[in-house]
Amino acid sequence: MKYMMFVITDSQPDTETDESDVDLWVDELDASGKRLIGEVLAPQTESRVVRVRDGKRYVTDGPFTETTEVICGFDILDVDDLDEAIEIASRHPMARNGQLELRPFMVWE
């Protein structure tokens, strides 16, 4: 199963921050083939929202929602099941410094 793992900041990290090197997590998962790709995203000040309404295109800066939590990166995992994805995510430093959202890819019939 493939999962998108969103790496998200958090205004309330664990009381003991995790100073471990994320590259160690990346290297282990890349070597095992469980991590297909991952990237750090540019700040949300560089993002744009695009939508079309009544045939007209609208492009706005943002999104600028009222939140202290921001998606700052992602990884795509290829694992056996949700339990394995959870175990992998729990070893990521941002599991303690921020939060991780796991979302399965849609399976099309």
Go through 33-72 and write b for each residue having 16 or more CB atoms within 10 A of its CB, e for each that does not: ebbeebeeeeeeeeeeeeeeeeeeeeeeeeeeeeeeebeb
Q: What is the pTM for the complete model shown?
A: 0.85
Does residue 29 sit in helix, strand or coil?
helix
The tokens describing 16, both together, are 């003991």
Digit-coded pLDDT (tens) for 87-98:
999 999 999 999
Of 45 and 101, which is predicted with more confidence? 101
Residue in the structure block whose two tokens are 């949300």 = 44
For residue 96, the SS3 value is: helix
**What's the pLDDT band for 17 if we cut at 50, 70, 90?**
confident
* pLDDT of res. 54: 97
